[in-house]
Structure 1
Amino acid sequence: MRILALLAFALLLTGCENRTDSDSLPGPDQIVRLSDSEIKGLDPQKISDLSSLRVAADQFEGLTRLNASGFAEPGLAEDWSITEDGRQWTFRLRDGLQFSDGMAFDAALFPQIWDRLQAPETASPTKALFENIAAVTSDGPRTVIVTLKSPAPSLAFSLAHPAMAAVPLHRIEKAGDKWTSERPMVVSGPYQLAAWLLNDHARMTRNPLWHDDPAPTASIIWKPMDDSLSAMRLFLSGGADVAADYPASRHQWLMKNHPDLTRSTPYLGSYYFAFNTRNAPFDDTRVRTALSMAVEREWIAEKVIGIGNIPAWSLLPPELTGGISTKPVWADWDRERRLATARQLLRDAGYGPANPLKFEIRFNSSTEHRRVSVALAAMWKDLNVEASLFNSEAALHFAALRQHDFALARSGWIADLPIPENFLTVHQVANGAGNYSGYDNPAYDAVVAKAIATAEPDKRNRLMRQADEMLVADMPILPLYFYVTRSLVSNRIAGWQDNISNVHPSRTLRISGK
């Protein structure tokens, strides 16, 4: 009986869709997208991994949504207004909104969605992203009011997150967690999940009751590909229209052989190493600065990595600071001048040939991280610095960072939203164990807090840059470069726009000529 039960279960998993191999291949009205992992969940308030969020963004829409350029635009709301102090946003809903099953909804739904996100039983992993929201209320059937604790010019981006989208509470109340098992799923966005074959593909079809014009492509296939090399090969063989990633080692080959298909675009991410400022030797700013001065960032970005990364001397990507990249005064000095100054700083801190600086560089297992670590150790030999290497798998590595068990460790940050504070607050004392370096500067915390509380955009940005400059001066982290995204996009796909958020909603893609 046990064998029969297992067999029945296997048939249930593989038989939830009658299909042929061609069902998951690019077609005249079907786009195939490769993601870097399997979907982890379908409830938009209970997911945080990128693959699941991309599928959720295709299915669920909120008051706002992101367009092909990665910017926020009206979604279920047709427009909005903001009070002068920046703390209250009023959204005007479109008329006649309904879910894909025909159930109508109005402004009263959104306070309920907010309550569900906050509820302990929901256990939302993204709840902290919205902690600046004080309340969500409705005023009549078409008005939603979002009240904030402090001004947030980025709220339109935040509300485009799937966790704040309209979910079918009428189905959730009836079916509980099983509501995501319904096919097609009941949704509020342009597509609805029609079938999901685990570790094979998920097929989405148009939501006929979506408020906007029908999505340009009838069917979207999401295929999980854990191995980026396999994804690249499938794409190049014509088995997919879009690959979310490809191996860094193949970048130059792709640029030479398939430049029209290869996309490498600046991303909302900073790659850096964290100094443990709690203990010697890196409790001394002079030591941290000396090591930073000896690093050849251009060489690391262009030769060691070689996929178009921009060298970084600061935390914030220039796209978030009006194209202005913060640099220390010594960034443009020649190497000999930098090394001479660095040696003097180390001598002042008590290090030299008779007492060489020794420490361990910790990194998580990756060819990229190893190559960067080796390069750093080699560059520091000119300072008589002895840096050894230690690598471990990612879970152990980041556990060590949270437990402060390191001297210098590979780290970095990819932002949830295209806003400076998403980077800067990581390095505050209030971030607890997530503040890996242990950076503790009340003046920095005060500038960040003042920036967040400022509604006027130009003044707010100046304060954000000031905080970034303080990080550069204190050097609790060693910035090396800004991330880029790597994608492969077929020539038959139109509507793809490179952007810093790496956002490419399926509703904005179409097959050329259609």
Structure 2
Amino acid sequence: MPGKMPWKMAAGAAAIVLLASGCSGSSSDDAEALPNSISIGIVEPTSLIPSNVVETGGSQVLASLYYPLVRFNDKSTPYAVAAQSITHDKANRVWTIRLKPGFTFSNGEPVTADNYINAWNYGAYGPNGQLASYFYSRIQGFADLQSEDPDGKDGPAQAPEPKARTMSGLKKVNNTTFTVTLSAGFAGWESVMGYTAFYPLPKAAWESEGVLKKDFAEAPIGNGPFKIKGKWQHDQQIQVEKVADFKGTIPKVNAINWKIYQDLSTQYNDLVAGNLDVETQIPVESLSQASSDLGDRLLKSPSSGFDFVGFPLYDEKFKNPQVRRAISMAINREEMTEQIFLGSETAATAFVSPVLQGARRNTCGPNCEYNPIKARQMYTAAGGPAEIKITYNADGGHKPWIDAMCNQIKSSLGVNCVGTTVPKLTDLLAKVRAREDVGLYRLAWSMDYPLMENYLGPLYTSDGSSNYGAYKSTAFDTLVRQGSEAPTVEQATKYWQKAEDILAKDVPVLPLRFSQNVFGHSDRVTDVTMDLFAMVDIYKIDIAS
């Protein structure tokens, strides 16, 4: 998620699913506490509209407000949750979704097929500018909802209206059944529908047909186990309380206070002082003392997180792949993970998280091996820039490793390297999207759905939602597409592996680390777990007796 754009990049990214690592602000005295509630630290979300969320902070809040069509078991296999059943034809092209009866939104509205169709069409409609719109692109008719870029020699012009406002691939069968026709078969589509962008929206969300109420994101109405209390208090908190008579899996706690932080260290101090119940990312500078501070309340679990630094390939200084390879070989990933992260993360020498089926080790080969002598020779011969700038968000605790990475680059390449901050992840993403002069940029990705393709399509295809560096490779695009159209995920993986081999040669980003969840909790709570999506399981966590 992007990152998941952390950048659930997001996103991550995958959705990021891009990782919003970092966060800070409110103390337990800032707001009225809900009865039998717990508090979990997050970063300020970019949005609370499902189709506009591509980072972990927003995704975590939405997971409490909405109930997905599918969730995933310990083997990353999807199983129906809000759906009664999901079936498909032999070509994996026409998918039929039957909803469980009796589910309602928190305002009492029944959940129907229209709620999904309307929400997905809104997210896909180009002029709405939804950050997760890419995830609908496989649905037949998606292209008709996009506007052509009107910019020309005479400067920016008004974008023409798209050909359509709704996707032809979405059809209502009855109130609890609808079909999704894809432009081409995709065996992994059921997994994709577990992503944040595929939540439904109630009738109360709409100002008029296809027009969302301007303030809906301030107090979204979902179909999940919790409902928002009041409104989103920006940079402070988002309070949610349990929905009465919820038909799905019922959480053990009655309420959650999502406390918003701008600084991981402040969040950690709140955790140690007992003013916060869960911190999902222990800051780097606190790793050495966390064991003594927290004891058995310091926990670790597998994560799909992938930390990297992106190249702005629209900048002439970084278009030469030899320059990118040289910078990659100038970095000692193992030393960084051991000395800065104390072994809590592992050096990444591949582009796909090892938690996924089909992932391989060391696919980056020599281009990700520390070789300072060869790196300097290659960099000099390729005419690399005299200074390298790395921009990162100050709210994520990244300064220690950015400084270490810059020191390695200076030593290996003999050029200056500086780290530059912006206040928040949202600020960084805005600058990168606008192609401002940020130099290299720090990002991370947590999977949106458990398929190898999720680490390839959004981040590197020509139309990828989180392809911020503007990487383009026809051969790569073709292999990703061929994999998506393969009849089984096993066959698809062979194409996706070949696509990753192209990334290893081109190095559009610098793979740095594969992360695990390193988190802590107060003595008020028990059964605290985090999943591969780097999110707290809100159904398991409980208040200690």
Q: Give your verdict on TM over 0.5.
A: yes
Alignment partner of 1:249 is 2:285: yes
Change (3 A) 1:130 1:237: same
Distance change (3 Å), C-alpha of 1:293 and 1:118: closer
1:64 touches 1:159 (CA, 8 Å); kept in 2?
yes
Alignment-derived partner of residue 457 in structure 1: 489
TM-score by length of 1: 0.78
User: In structure 1, how many angstroms separate the alpha carbons of the residues matched to 2:368 and 2:109?
Assistant: 62
Contact 2:484–2:492 (8 Å) recurs in 1: yes
Matches of 2:122 and 2:411 in 1, distance apart? 57
- Scaled by the length of structure 2, the TM-score of the pair is 0.74
- Residue 506 of structure 1 aligns to a residue in which SS? coil
Question: In structure 1, the residue corresponding to 2:483 is in which secondary structure?
Answer: helix
Question: Structure 2: which 5+ runs fail to align?
Answer: 1-27, 141-168
Letter in 2 for 1:150: A
Instruction: Quote the residue 2:362 is aligned against.
Output: 326
Query: 1:313 touches 1:327 (CA, 8 Å); kept in 2?
Result: yes
Residue 284 of structure 2 contacts residue 340 of structure 2 at CA under 8 Å; is this kept in 1? Answer: no
Match of 2:540 among 490, 508, 511: 508
- Would you say 1:422 and 2:454 are equivalent positions? yes
How far is the alpha carbon of 1:478 from its aligned partner? 2.7
2:65 is equivalent to residue 59 of structure 1: yes
Counterpart of 1:203 in structure 2 is 239
1:177 paired with 2:213, answer yes
Residues 1:129 and 2:135 aligned together: yes
Work out whether 1:386 is the aligned partner of 2:415: yes
Secondary structure of the 1:507 match is coil
- Quick check: 1:273 aligned with 2:309? yes
Given that residues 92 and 187 in structure 2 are in contact (C-alpha distance below 8 angstroms), is that contact kept between their aligned partners in structure 1? yes
In the TM superposition, what is the alpha-carbon distance from 1:297 to its structure 2 partner? 1.3
Q: Is contact 2:407-2:417 (8 Å) kept?
A: no
Alpha-carbon distance, 1:46 to partner: 5.0
Determine the C-alpha separation between the residues in 2 that align with 1:182 and 1:295.
43
| Equivalent residue letter for 2:243 | N
CA pair 152-511 structure 1, distance change in 2 beyond 3 A: farther
Please name the residue that 2:260 is paired with.
Answer: 224
2:102 maps to a residue whose letter is G
CA distance in 1, matches of 2:428, 2:542: 43
Counterpart residue identity of residue 364, structure 1:
T
Match of 2:504 in 1: 472
Residue 142 of structure 1 corresponds to which residue in structure 2? 176
User: Which string of whole-angstrom CA distances, capped at 9 and with x for unpartnered residues, describes residues 386-410 of structure 1?
Assistant: 344363537579747864857x623
Correspondence for 2:91 among 77, 85, 95: 85
Q: Encode CA deviations 1:432-489: one digit per residue, 9 max, x unaligned.
A: 99452x5443322322222222231122122222222222223343322224444322
User: Is the contact made by 1:190 and 1:207 (CA closer than 8 Å) also made in structure 2?
Assistant: yes
User: For residue 14 of structure 1, what is the aligned residue in structure 2?
Assistant: none
Is 1:364–2:364 an aligned residue pair? no
Corresponding residue for 1:261?
297
Indicate the residue corresponding to 1:311 in structure 2.
Answer: 347
Q: 2:271 aligns with which of 205, 218, 235?
A: 235
Q: Look up the equivalent residue of 1:132 and give its one-letter code.
A: R
Residue aligning to 2:336 = 300
Range with bigger deviation, 75-84 or 97-106: 97-106
Distance in 2, Cα, partners of 1:213 & 1:381: 53
Q: CA deviation at 1:261?
A: 2.0
Identify which range, 369-378 or 158-167, moves more after superposition: 369-378
* Partner-residue secondary structure (3-state), 1:55: helix
Q: Where in structure 1 are there 5+ consecutive unaligned residues?
A: 1-18, 352-356
**How far apart, in 2, do the equivalents of 1:341 and 1:20 lie?**
56
Is 1:33 the equivalent of 2:68?
no
Alpha-carbon distance in 1 for matches of 2:507, 2:124: 37
Change (3 A) 1:148 1:203: same
Question: Separation in 2 of the partners of 1:358 and 1:208?
Answer: 60
Change (3 A) 1:376 1:474: same
Cα distance, 1:74 vs structure 2? 1.7
Please report how far the alpha carbon of residue 214 of structure 1 lies from its aligned counterpart in structure 2 after TM superposition. 3.7
| Distance of 1:76 and 1:433 partners within structure 2 | 28
| Seq. identity, % | 19
Q: What amino acid does structure 2 have at the position aligned with 1:417?
A: D
- Residue 110 in structure 1 maps to residue 112 in structure 2: no
Paired residues of 1:314 and 1:469 also in contact (CA < 8 A): no
Q: Determine which of 224, 233, 237 is the counterpart of 1:189.
A: 224
Deviation (angstroms), 1:501 = 0.7
Q: Is the CA contact 2:237–2:257 (under 8 Å) kept in the aligned structure 1?
A: yes
Task: Verify the 8 A CA contact 2:349 2:365 in the aligned structure 1.
Answer: no
**Secondary structure at 2:271 match in 1:** helix
1:303: Cα distance to partner? 1.0
- Give 1:77 shift: 0.9
User: Alignment RMSD, CA only?
Assistant: 4.0
Aligned residues of 1:326 and 1:468 also touching (Cα < 8 A): no
Partner of 2:13: none
Does 1:212 pair with 2:245? Answer: no
Q: In structure 2, how many angstroms separate the alpha carbons of the residues matched to 1:202 and 1:282?
A: 41
Distance verdict in 2 for CA 1:120–1:460, change over 3 Å: closer
Report which of the two structures shows the higher radius of gyration computed on alpha carbons.
1
Contact 2:264 2:397 in 1 (8 A): no
Deviation at 1:299, TM superposition (A): 0.2
Cα distance in structure 1, aligned partners of 2:452 and 2:189: 13
After superposition, what is the alpha-carbon deviation per residue over 1:328-352, rounded to whole angstroms, capped at 9, x for unaligned?
A: 554898x7xx5565577568x478x
Report the CA distance shift for 1:485/1:282 in structure 2 as closer, same or farther (over 3 A): same
Q: Say whether the 8 Å CA contact 2:53–2:132 is kept in structure 1.
A: yes
CA contact (8 A) 2:272 2:293 kept: no
Q: 1:169 deviation in Å?
A: 0.8
Distance in structure 2 (CA, Å) of the matches to 1:69 and 1:245? 24
Question: Residue 81 of structure 1 contacts residue 91 of structure 1 at CA under 8 Å; is this kept in 2?
Answer: yes
More divergent stretch after superposition (456-465 vs 502-511): 502-511
Q: Structure 1 residues 496, 148: closer, same or farther in 2, change over 3 A?
A: farther
Counterpart of 1:10?
Answer: none
